[in-house]
Amino acid sequence: MIKKYAFLILFSLFFNSLQSQVQLSVYSEISIVTTGPGTELYEAFGHSAIRVKDPMLQLDLIYNYGMFDFNQPNFYSNFVKGKLLYTLGRYPFSTFLQSYYQDKRWVKQQVLNLTQQEKQAFFNYLENNALPQNSDYLYDPYFDNCATKLRDITSSVLKNKLHFGEENLPKNQTFRQLMNQEIPWNSWGSFGINVALGSKLDKKASVEGFMYLPKYIYSIFKNSKITNQGNSENLVKNEEILLDFKNLAPKTSLFSPFLIFLIFSIIGIYITFSDIKNQKRAKWLDVTIFSFTGIVGILIVFLWFFTNHSTTPNNFNFLWAFAPNFLIAFFLFKEKPPKWIAKYVKLLIVFLSLIPILWLLKIQEFPMAVIPLLLLFAVRFWFLTHKNLYK
């Protein structure tokens, strides 16, 4: 057994040493590969990878920075905490292409206009990154992902010879606006993401910032230039559609967040005016509102202060999803809650009044689906300020 493992270690060292000596031929190509979106939320933004092809060496590999393993120890807890490890996968391009053919997702290739020395530099960089001790990285969906890796590698290899093209980019876009263009606004995925993430996403994206999305890796690289011996040339030598499928429609639900919240809000506002007319209080409605907003608020606090996610701090969704509401819900079980609840509710009204101001000033955008709930909260909180409801 010891001899077996010793042989494997020696073979691995020899194989890695052999790889490090591989010199690409003049027929080699380095390509940016971009894929279309899938139907699942995590596939909604498409994907980017790098292809290295050399027919003389019978080499055709994909370098895929989007690999992760559900079976990693503490995978789900690490995901929640913002400590998710992704891995650079290095495997045959045919395997990569076949998986997207099965999913009916388009695949496009952009062959880069590189010198032989630059091709070799790309290959050496990727090979070094693919080593077991280098292949893992701490994933960030907006600042360190499969697309930004391609941007950073290209910048590292080409340095000041590279000039990213800003032509045809939408103007004055924030990270959140770019994200929301890729996922349907009236979906539970969009609602959850926009509730969980804070105002860092509402900063204007630079041209480099756009490239956290694969489609902008594709369009910006298409318009980028490199300088060779004083001459400006296109970064992309040629393009090719490898798989030609139409964009897949994301999965949608009949019970969308806006519809559910609108129905609940109409019912809640109707009950509130009925309570005013009949001089009573529907306890179940208050307990539901305060429990829901409190639980969401607790999640916001957890993501803000107790995780490593770069985009969850400074989240003004706490103005409507206030964590202490969960405790207040227990007091509202009573027929006559303590009088100080009225003052607490006035504070919540002040919080609600700040939301349109922050929204208009573009400090933070809030999920569109929450608007019906905000109207209900405003009406119900106003009702709960009446002193005759309390001891």
Each residue's pLDDT tens digit, 196-239 = 999 999 999 999 999 999 999 999 999 999 998 888 999 999 99
pLDDT at 11 over 50: no
Domain match, 225 and 298 both: no
Domain identity same for 220 and 313: no
Question: Against a cut of 0.85, is the pTM above it?
Answer: yes
| Structural domain that includes position 274 | 257-389
Is 227 part of any domain? yes
> Model confidence over 108-152: pLDDT tens digits?
999 999 999 999 999 999 999 999 999 999 999 999 999 999 999
Please list the helix, strand and coil fractions of the chain in percent, rounded to the nearest 5, in that order.
50, 15, 35
Residues 6+ apart with CB under 8 A from 152: none
Inside any domain, residue 104: yes
Q: Give the whole-number percent of the chain exceeding pLDDT 90.
A: 83
Q: Are residue 221 and residue 304 in the same domain, yes or no?
A: no
Convert the pLDDT of each residue in 179-191 to its tens digit: 999 999 999 999 9
Q: Tokens 């907006």 — which residue?
A: 142
Contact 244, 36 (CB under 8 A): no
17 pLDDT exceeds 50?
Answer: no
Whether residue 186 is contained in a domain is answered as: no
At residue 265, φ and ψ (nearest 5 deg) are -65, -40
Residue 42 has a pLDDT of 84
Q: Cα separation of 341 and 334, whole Å?
A: 12
Side-chain half-sphere of 100: how many Cα atoms within 13 Å?
A: 27
Q: Are 57 and 123 in contact (CB under 8 A)?
A: no
With bands split at pLDDT 50, 70 and 90, how would you rate the model's confidence at 75?
A: low
Domain count within the chain: 2
Residues 231 and 266 placed together within one structural domain of the fold = no
Whether 276 maps to a domain, the answer reads yes
Instruction: Residue 22: name the closest of 122, 161, 91 by CA.
Output: 122
Element at 272 (helix H, strand E): helix 257-278
Per-chain mean pLDDT for the chain: 92
CA distance 353 to 208: 35
Q: What is the pLDDT of residue 252?
A: 75
74 plus 149 within the same structural domain? yes
| pLDDT computed for residue 90 by the predictor | 97
